[in-house]
Amino acid sequence: RAKDLGRNSYQMYTPAMNARSFERLTMEASLRHAVTRGEFKLVYQVKVDMDTGRMSGVEALVRWNHPEMGLVSPAVFIPLAEDMGVISDIGEWVLREACKQCKHWHDLGLPPVRIAVNVSALQFRETKVPDVVARALRDTGLPPHFLELELTETVLMQRVDEVVVVLKELRAMGVRISIDDFGTGYSSLSYLKRMPIDALKVDRSFVNDIFDEEDKVTEEGAEIVSTIISLAHNLKLKAIAEGVETPAQAAFLQSKGCDEVQGFLISRPVSGEDLISLFDRDLLPEAQE
């Protein structure tokens, strides 16, 4: 027992555990100040319209450039930011920065595209999202119909009536709503039907399961993806697939009528600067044979 070891009780902890909790403490201390110190940046991943092969929009993804630890993944620091109660500050910064960047592309005369911003369930619950959105749009001058919010199923499950009101308010402004990582949560179909939303994003784990290791279509994997696309269309929603890595996956999704795709096949997330070269060109050459 730790107590019996007396002064040496720290030996109970493996070096890996120590490193982990040390890392967490280090991160907590600096995450609180990361916004004001300008340590976050956004990268952008293209969404492609399957009918035209052109960019239809981009998703903004946050990156934390920690002075000592280097780039920290949002998968690591977003949950931490939620625990610490700083997610809404980060979320507001992301929203404003994304709107500013999108307006900048428009001002450069590039074909106007939509920008999608991820909103955490906690941020959705603890702030008045329509107010924050309205301020960001007003201050940056981005027209509302160029903004899309990506929410997870968790959002749909909490206090449904209130959520419906907030989503209606956002859509009345002209903002689009999509449900991210669709199929990985536990949202019920009866709730889904009531939600004023625009699109379902098929989670990348399902896209990954369409084909097996020998590149053969798997019966269940393919069926799940087709079913989600049909569900979206039956509810008059768009279907967007994320995590598309191979031409075969893109071709499959296209054959099932998926509206938009996103993934490493088309482009990794890139800087705002690097995105410029992806406007105005056919982004689906392999998939259209």
Among 92, 97, 181, 259, binds Mg ion (CB under 5 A): 181
Nearest approach in angstroms of CB 34 to ligand C2E is: 13
From 25-33, 92-100, 172-180, 231-239, span contacting Mg ion (CB under 5 A): 172-180
Site string for ligand C2E, 135-154 (x = CB under 6 A): ---------------x----
CB count, 10 Å around CB of 133? 24
Which residues ranging from 38 to 67 are in contact with ligand C2E (CB under 6 A)?
A: 45, 61-62
What's the CA gap between 258 and 57, in Å, rounded? 15
What's the CA gap between 163 and 169, in Å, rounded? 10
CB 78 within 8 Å of CB 63 = no
Residue 34 interacts with ligand C2E (CB under 6 A)? no
CB 176 within 8 Å of CB 157 = no
> In the block, which residue shows the tokens 């959705």?
124
Q: Which is nearer to Mg ion, 30 or 113 (CB)?
A: 113
Among 31, 46, 78, 147, binds ligand C2E (CB under 6 A): 78
Residue 223 tokens, joined = 């069926």
Residue 260 interacts with ligand C2E (CB under 6 A)? no
Half-sphere exposure of 24 (CA within 13 A, CB side): 11
**Interface with Mg ion: number of residues (CB under 5 A):** 5
Q: Which is nearer to Mg ion, 30 or 259 (CB)?
A: 259
Q: Which is nearer to ligand C2E, 27 or 61 (CB)?
A: 61
Total count of residues recorded for the chain: 289
Residue 201 tokens, joined = 């994003």
Which residues ranging from 79 to 108 are in contact with ligand C2E (CB under 6 A)?
A: 91, 94
Nearest approach in angstroms of CB 40 to ligand C2E is: 9
Residue 181 tokens, joined = 């990582």
Beta-sheet strands, E only, within 152-231: 176-182, 199-202
CB 93 within 8 Å of CB 35 = yes
Per partner kind, with CB cut-offs from 5 to 8 A, the member of ligand C2E, Mg ion, none near residue 140 is: none
Residue 118 interacts with Mg ion (CB under 5 A)? yes
Residue 257 tokens, joined = 């009528």
Q: Which residues bind ligand C2E (CB under 6 A)?
A: 45, 61-62, 73-75, 78, 91, 94, 118-120, 150, 180-181, 204, 242-245, 263-264, 269
